[in-house]
Amino acid sequence: MKVTIYTDGSSRGNPGPGGYGAVLQFVDSTGKLHERELSQGYATTTNNRMELLGVIVALEALKRPCTVEVHSDSQYVVNAFNQHWVDGWLKRGWKNAKKEPVKNSDLWRRLLEAKKPHDVTFVWVKGHAGHPENERCDTLATAAADGNNLLEDTGFTC
């Protein structure tokens, strides 16, 4: 089963209120498109945390192992896998190349767990360039950040 996921994160200030948006798409054997949208806002967080959480929540929503193509406008997320930053962090015990602790390691660990059962590839898309699904994710993320039902990002620290 092939699923295409589009994600985006938003933060009103960095840190500040933030949100993520995700669109999951699957075309069944009859050619029918199935789509699901996910979003949530947080009272105080960062853009990078919301970019990560969008991917995490989308992968966690999958009920069985899938071939997944994740489209994100976050070079932070895409490059971590495509340029093998994560591999280096794991080898160095969650330290970056400067031997400093990796930021957002709580979410990186959760993302690695969420992607384990799947065959995942990451594709970078230019943000705010008219890509319909990326624009939809941006709308979901900003609406979530501006919403009233904001959660606490328990992993966020200043």
As annotated, the binding site for Mg(2+) includes 8, 51, 73, 138
- State the pairing for strand pair 33-45/16-27: antiparallel
Q: Could you tell me if 26 and 34 are in contact, meaning their C-beta atoms sit under 8 angstroms apart? A: yes
Is the bond into 132 cis (omega within 30 degrees of 0)?
Answer: no
Annotated binding site: 8, 51, 73, 138
- The CA distance from 145 to 153, in Å, is 12
Let me know if 61 is exposed, middle or buried by CB neighbors in 10 A (0-12, 13-18, 19+): middle
Phi first, then psi: what are they for 138, rounded to 5°?
Answer: -60, -45
Phi first, then psi: what are they for 142, rounded to 5°?
Answer: -70, -40
Kindly list the catalytic residues: 8-9, 51, 73, 128, 138
